[in-house]
Structure 1
């Protein structure tokens, strides 16, 4: 039990130090251009089976978003770039809902109070799965993103497959440019 507590504390420390963009390349199946890595439909891997609760206890299951283009943004309240990009993600969620696009957050805050405050302060229009241990993010296919560097954003096609990943802060216009072709598939 003590080892688990030490590991958890070390993970939180690493997450705190790692906030920011750390683009790189890994794997041959996707094409990385700067912080964006995209996958051709034939090379896409199935999304992880993420489910859980929000900080308010509401259930979220990524599988329930099947038939939608899903944008999953990993964030933490202590991450400055996460704070900057949140309003744009909320706007995309509102504007593109009718086109079958949904934004879902993946919140790695250790503090429920800080996470709730972030959501209220930024007026998030989308739910966030609460994952303070970061274990759900470790279920990602290798090479998509570095789950110790925040923020990062994953894009899933209507079949629940990973279509793209973006490491670092993302603008509203960049999100729109990635999801628009996915809505036409």
Structure 2
């Protein structure tokens, strides 16, 4: 059985320094794969190459095809929520890549079906009761769970998480990692996490 996410021969250079030297990674549907290593060892560079955020040599395939723009969802160490907007609007933003432009300009124009889907994503991460709160009013662990819900709303089959728990206390970190593992298994996602 082929992997859902395949990285083949990833090579990344910064000037004269080669950071990645032909790295291969396979992540299957239902699997959470953690990349561990010392600072500066190229973990985040690998993730950014897999996401298409860093120029690289090699191939990245999702389900046997070259990675498309909407195939991969990202969860970053810095959560990147719009803190003045509601939790629900932040989750709806995960679907911006598949919305017509007129529906994506103002959160109040998000279609009802999208809002219902986003509520389902919030329910999956245990935060449906906070949907109408400002994102900035949540704790760090709750904000990271909102970021995961936003990634789910993107409908990508591959989830890349770059240091998703480094800024969280141990209890919140354990909760977020448990959530990523659960989503990999129950949603049949391929999850690649840098820790």
What TM-score results when the alignment is normalised by the length of structure 2?
A: 0.26
Normalised TM-score (structure 1): 0.27
Larger Rg: 2
